[in-house]
């Protein structure tokens, strides 16, 4: 297994022929879009990644290049219940199959269960990692148990009592009683 500090570019057109296993650690500060989403927090958080390329035969027996990507990281986010910082652990394990062209990827996309990528001689593994982190972003980040007690009431208990207005129909009912038939 080759160890890397940051993900290298891959020659995908030839990568699957011999099995390739790459792994390394990186920091979140190297991923610009992730830093924008975290408002610059967690720049030194470690991202553990591994990538394995291999060749698998398709239905016709032709070799196809596959990539297995595994990521583990901690995202510094804001809890949506207590609005305090929360570190959300994210683990990603995905398989990708490479195809020759963008047109072929569009054609096969609906029928294939795996995600399709276009093969190139300088495939940007870093860009794929960043895309996968953003796709795995939690919709509602929150603590399992918030560290502070939460105020669950929106208004004071006596709020409705202070603003009660007399019923206008009650005044009409009083008028009806006083009028002679």
- Using CB atoms within 10 Å of the CB of residue 92, give its burial: 0 to 12 exposed, 13 to 18 middle, 19+ buried: middle
Summary count for the chain: helices (H), strands (E)? 6, 8
Residue 164 located in a structural domain = no
Residue 166 located in a structural domain = no
Residue 143 located in a structural domain = yes
Q: Which two tokens stand for residue 10?
A: 């891959």
Residue 170 located in a structural domain = no
Q: How many domains does the chain have?
A: 1
pTM given for the model: 0.75
Residue 165 located in a structural domain = no
Domain range for 78 is 2-148
Q: What is the arithmetic mean of pLDDT over 144-163? A: 72
- Do residues 53 and 67 make contact, with C-beta atoms less than 8 angstroms apart? yes
Render pLDDT for 24-82 as a digit per residue (tens, 0 to 9).
999 999 999 999 999 999 999 999 999 998 888 877 888 888 999 999 999 999 999 89
- CA separation for the pair 12, 98 (Å, rounded): 8
Residue 178 located in a structural domain = no
Confidence (pLDDT) at 4: 58
Residue 91 located in a structural domain = yes
Residue 104 located in a structural domain = yes
pLDDT exceeds 80 at position 7? no
Render pLDDT for 92-141 as a digit per residue (tens, 0 to 9).
999 999 988 889 888 888 888 889 999 888 888 999 999 999 999 999 99
């Amino acid at each position: 297994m080759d160890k890397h500090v940051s993900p290298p570019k891959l020659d995908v057109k030839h990568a699957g022929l011999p099995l390739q296993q790459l792994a390394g650690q990186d920091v979140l500060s190297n991923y610009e879009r992730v830093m924008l989403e975290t408002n610059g927090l967690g720049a030194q958080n470690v991202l553990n990644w591994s990538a394995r390329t291999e060749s698998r035969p398709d239905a016709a027996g032709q070799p196809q290049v596959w990539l297995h990507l595994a990521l583990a990281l901690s995202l510094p986010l804001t809890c949506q219940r207590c609005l305090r910082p929360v570190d959300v652990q994210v683990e990603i394990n995905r398989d990708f199959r490479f195809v020759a062209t963008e047109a072929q990827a569009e054609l096969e996309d609906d029928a294939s269960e795996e995600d399709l990528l276009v093969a190139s001689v300088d495939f940007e593994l870093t860009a794929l990692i960043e895309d996968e982190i953003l796709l795995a972003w939690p919709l509602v980040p929150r603590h399992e148990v918030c560290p502070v007690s939460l105020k669950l009431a929106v208004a004071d208990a006596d709020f409705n009592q202070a603003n009660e207005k007399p019923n206008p129909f009650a005044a009409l009912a009083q008028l009806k009683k006083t009028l002679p038939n």
